[in-house]
Structure 1
Amino acid sequence: MADPQIPHTFQDALLRHLPYAEASELAPTDDLAALGLDSMGVVQLLAELEDTFGVELPDEALTEETFATVGSLWQAVAEFVPTEPVGHE
């Protein structure tokens, strides 16, 4: 079951980079490396997340721990995502 605090937009982006993910929903504790995220995937995923959420993650936020689980990655991204939806008028 998906964590309601992790947006579907984030999960959809992640799923495109996780070749071993069989579910359409990810749990916060799901291990990204076990689901097939490799170093090239990290670079591609990072670019997609920055584009999707309109943010630029600083280098200090990009640690091995950040990319350990679905939840840890969302926590790092969420810190930089505006609280109001992009395009909100």
Structure 2
Amino acid sequence: MEQPEIANAVREVVREIAPDIPEMEENISLNSLGLDSLGSVELTLRLEDRFGVVFEDDELAFENFESVASIVDLLSAKTAA
């Protein structure tokens, strides 16, 4: 899957969890847009299901899930491996 496709899928998952979040630019903090800690946990679980991956403990760092861009980077690396 190409990065733009991954980014669109990530946006879809975020909107499922937090439909009130406005349009998401790739480098904007999801937390600043209103995604709370419970939403972040839900996001990681849904991304694992959507992409068929498992996030390792060391990958569950805030900076990996801070923005659409950081999530795309993580998922690109996981799906390429």
User: What is the TM-score with the length of structure 1 in the denominator?
Assistant: 0.73
For the pair 1:38 / 2:36, whether they are aligned, the reply is yes
Q: Which residue of 1 aligns with 2:11?
A: 11
Provide runs of 4+ in structure 1 moved above 6 Å: none
Between the two structures, name the one with larger relative contact order (CA 8 Å, sep ≥ 6): 2
Give the fraction of aligned pairs with identical amino acids, expressed as a percent: 29
- Give the 3 Å change call, closer, same or farther, for CA 18–35 of structure 1 in structure 2: farther
Matched residue type, 2:21: A
Question: Could you say which structure has the larger radius of gyration?
Answer: 1
Q: Which whole-Å CA distance do the structure 2 matches of 1:41 and 1:53 have between them? A: 18
For the pair 1:55 / 2:53, whether they are aligned, the reply is yes
For the pair 1:78 / 2:62, whether they are aligned, the reply is no
Matched residue type, 1:14: V
Unmatched runs of 5 consecutive residues or more in structure 2: none
What is the alpha-carbon root mean square deviation over aligned residues? Answer: 2.0
User: What is the TM-score with the length of structure 2 in the denominator?
Assistant: 0.79
Q: Which has the higher helix share?
A: 2
